[in-house]
């Protein structure tokens, strides 16, 4: 069963505010283009001086990854429009209740 509050999380790391804004807009537009009707929570942060890599990390709860085919297309589509960035998609399993 899918949780009603389930959403995709996306962490964007870039060298400056302009690039962060651009990558956020591209990610959101790609989600719209593939008709992904799930909320995306975006966390943005600037790269530090030691690690200047631009990256977009997409985190998908396992129940969404199974139920929605479109989540698999999001990382691929973002990568097409952001070839300079490292794109990852990670499936998050349910946390063990100990």
Say if 97 falls within a structural domain: no
DSSP class of 96: P
Taking residue 23's Cβ as centre, other Cβ atoms within 10 Å add up to 24
Confirm if 6 and 61 have CB atoms less than 8 A apart.
yes
Question: Quick check: is 13 in a domain?
Answer: yes
The mean pLDDT value for 36-50 works out to 85
Q: How many domains does the chain have?
A: 1
Confidence of residue 96 (pLDDT cuts 50, 70, 90): very low
In a domain, 1, yes or no: no
Residues 6+ apart with CB under 8 A from 30: 74, 77, 78, 81
Is residue 3 a part of any domain in this protein? no
Asked whether the predicted pLDDT for residue 57 surpasses 70, the reply is yes
Per the structure, the complete domain to which residue 65 belongs is given by: 8-92
pLDDT of 58 over the 80 cut: yes
The sheet with strand 86-92 has its strands ordered as 40-46, 8-14, 55-61, 86-92
Statement: the pTM of the whole predicted model exceeds 0.75: yes
pLDDT band for position 98 (cuts 50, 70, 90) = very low
- In the chain, the percentage of residues whose pLDDT exceeds 70 is 90
Q: What is the mean pLDDT of the chain?
A: 86
- Residue pair 65/71 in contact (Cβ under 8 Å)? The answer is yes
In a domain, 27, yes or no: yes
Asked, for residue 54, whether it belongs to a domain, the answer is: yes
pLDDT surpasses 50 at 66:
yes
């Amino acid at each position: 069963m899918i949780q009603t509050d389930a959403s995709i999380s996306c962490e964007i790391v870039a060298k400056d505010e302009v690039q962060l804004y651009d990558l956020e807009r591209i990610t959101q537009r790609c989600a719209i283009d593939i008709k992904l009707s799930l909320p995306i929570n975006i966390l943005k942060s600037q790269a530090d001086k030691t690690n200047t890599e631009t990256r977009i990390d997409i985190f998908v709860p396992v129940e969404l990854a199974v139920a929605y085919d479109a989540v698999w297309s999001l990382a691929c589509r973002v990568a097409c429009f952001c070839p300079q960035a490292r794109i990852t998609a990670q499936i998050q399993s349910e946390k063990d209740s100990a």
